[in-house]
């Protein structure tokens, strides 16, 4: 939304013909309107997403693949730390969320997913905080919003890690977690 306002303000302040104001507004709406794109570029992470369709702008307001690449590069040190087995998947859900079969309806990680990662990685984090504030993500309790969380089940001496689809059944593309790298 900021880019849209900034573009319109810049256009309105300059000496430009009225037709150009309309074109600038259309351009701003195109940039900020959710759209499904094909990920045909290898990112430094999220390689399991190459060939998939994803939504931009994403949750963190990146509106281009280049912006996503830059942010993944910025967080590469944390992702390479492997402080939690689902850290990469968490960031991929935020940065390159898959398009739904009905268009750009991305599923975000749940707040509890973020909190588990924060607790697992806190010693590595600046001021103990992830690059995204957990309280900004949906809670499992929120009515009408679907989100993904990680459940850890302890059985005897083994620990099973699985994904929990909070609203309804798990989508087909997530039935086999190993197919997306986890």
Pair (59, 125) in one structural domain:
yes
Contact 163, 150 (CB under 8 A): yes
Question: Quick check: 24 pLDDT over 70?
Answer: no
- List all residues 6 or more positions away from 97 whose beta carbon is below 8 Å from its beta carbon: 54, 55, 58, 59, 106, 107, 108
Tokens representing 103 are 């268009």
Angstrom distance (rounded) from CA 41 to CA 55 = 14
Average the pLDDT over each of 2-6, 77-81, 94-98, 117-121 and give the range with the smallest value. 2-6
The predicted pLDDT at position 46 comes to 86
Greater confidence, 136 or 172?
136
The predicted pLDDT at position 141 comes to 75
Residues of the domain holding 15: 1-33
- List all residues 6 or more positions away from 62 whose beta carbon is below 8 Å from its beta carbon: 56, 68, 71, 95
Pair (85, 167) in one structural domain:
yes
Pair (50, 123) in one structural domain:
yes
Pair (28, 39) in one structural domain:
no
Average the pLDDT over each of 52-61, 122-131, 132-141, 157-166 and give the range with the smallest value. 157-166
Pair (66, 12) in one structural domain:
no
Its sign, for the CA torsion 92, 52, 178, 146, is: positive
The overall average pLDDT reported for the chain is 69
The predicted pLDDT at position 67 comes to 92
Pair (84, 26) in one structural domain:
no
In terms of pTM, does the model score above 0.75? no
Average the pLDDT over each of 23-32, 102-111, 158-167 and give the range with the smallest value. 23-32
Pair (6, 85) in one structural domain:
no
- Arithmetic mean of pLDDT, 107-121: 93
Contact 25, 72 (CB under 8 A): no
């Amino acid at each position: 939304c900021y880019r849209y306002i900034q573009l319109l303000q810049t256009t309105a302040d300059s000496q430009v013909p009225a037709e150009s104001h309309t074109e600038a507004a259309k351009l701003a709406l195109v940039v900020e309107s959710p759209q499904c794109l094909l990920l045909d570029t290898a990112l430094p992470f999220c390689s399991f997403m190459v060939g998939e369709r994803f939504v931009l702008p994403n949750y963190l307001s990146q509106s281009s693949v280049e912006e996503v690449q830059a942010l993944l590069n910025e967080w590469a040190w944390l992702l390479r730390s492997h402080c939690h087995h689902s850290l990469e998947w968490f960031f991929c859900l935020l940065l390159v969320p898959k398009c739904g079969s009905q268009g750009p309806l991305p599923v975000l990680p749940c707040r509890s997913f973020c909190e588990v990662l924060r607790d697992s990685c806190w010693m590595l984090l600046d001021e103990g905080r992830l690059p995204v504030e957990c309280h900004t993500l949906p809670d499992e309790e929120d009515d009408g919003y679907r989100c993904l969380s990680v459940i850890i089940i302890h059985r005897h001496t083994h620990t099973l890690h699985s994904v929990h689809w909070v609203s309804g059944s798990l989508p087909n593309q997530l039935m086999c977690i190993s197919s997306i790298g986890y």
